[in-house]
Amino acid sequence: MLITLILIKAIGLATPHSMQRPLHPDLQRYVDERVLPAMAAIPTERKESLDLLAAFLKERKAAGATADLTFICTHNSRRSHLSQLWAATAAWHFAQDHVRTFSGGTEATAFNPRAVAAVERAGFQVVRNDGKNPVYEVSFSPDRIAERCWSKKYDDPANPQKDFCAVMTCSEADKNCPIVLGALDRISLPYNDPKEADNTPEEAARYDERCLQIAAEEWHVMQRAAMP
């Protein structure tokens, strides 16, 4: 326990407090109590992929360019949305204003309500709209406009068409989409699909687990990107 607390303190000190922007209170509590401890447990081999993403962000910033991240999964319903939201949240928190986050799939379905419920439990504020593929307004800070989330293909006009980093969040999309047109870089960052627990007693816990894992990893990426 003492070692964990020391690691959390070190993580918090890695970026000047003046650079850290406010989140909604419940979300900030989730970050402090859940995300920071989870960061300390990220395996070394996983950090190698995460650090490639951080390097992309630093390179784009050094070039005076935006760093567009498109998180890609098969259906753009769960993992890609969670990644988009947590990357946007961490980028805002660490004042990485050159970072823009997007998501898409190899096909479009809908932002799954179970994944939406998971981000609500984490402290995001969500406004739902009606429809078969509804647009969700997801807010992480009182000082920033909400993210608009809906399911779409990765090459949808709402997403960047060139000079972006394609972040592959599932192995199926990575395999079935060998070429992502317009991508400046491509990084494989697959996550286990919480869909496997749908309609079981483990459903909520599995979605919460994936939400936390993605949160911790995006926090790691943006913190590294913010470092000199």
Model confidence over 8-34: pLDDT tens digits?
Answer: 444 444 444 446 899 999 999 999 999
- Taking a C-beta distance cutoff of 8 angstroms, is the pair 186, 180 a contact? yes
**pLDDT confidence band for 50 (50 / 70 / 90):** very high
Residue 145 included in any domain: yes
- Per-residue pLDDT, 82: 98
Residue 201 included in any domain: yes
For 51-97, the pLDDT digits (tens) are 999 999 999 999 999 999 999 999 999 999 999 999 999 999 999 99
- Per-residue pLDDT, 178: 67
Point out which residues pair with 137 in neighbouring strands: 127, 148
Residue 12 included in any domain: no
- Taking a C-beta distance cutoff of 8 angstroms, is the pair 72, 169 a contact? yes
The CATH number assigned to the domain holding 73 equals: 3.40.50.2300
pTM of the model: 0.91
Q: Tell me the percentage of the chain whose pLDDT exceeds 90.
A: 84
Q: At 139, is the secondary structure helix, strand, or coil?
A: strand
Residue 142 included in any domain: yes
Residue 59 included in any domain: yes
Q: Which helix (H) or strand (E) holds 149?
A: strand 147-149
Is the per-residue pLDDT at 4 higher than 70?
no
Q: Who contacts 201 (Cβ-Cβ below 8 Å, separation ≥6)?
A: none
- Taking a C-beta distance cutoff of 8 angstroms, is the pair 57, 221 a contact? yes
- Per-residue pLDDT, 1: 40
Residue 151 included in any domain: yes
Domains of the chain: total: 1
Residue 4 included in any domain: no
Residue 15 included in any domain: no
Share of the chain residues as helix, strand and coil, in percent rounded to the nearest 5: 45, 15, 35
Domain with 204, as residue range(s), is: 21-226
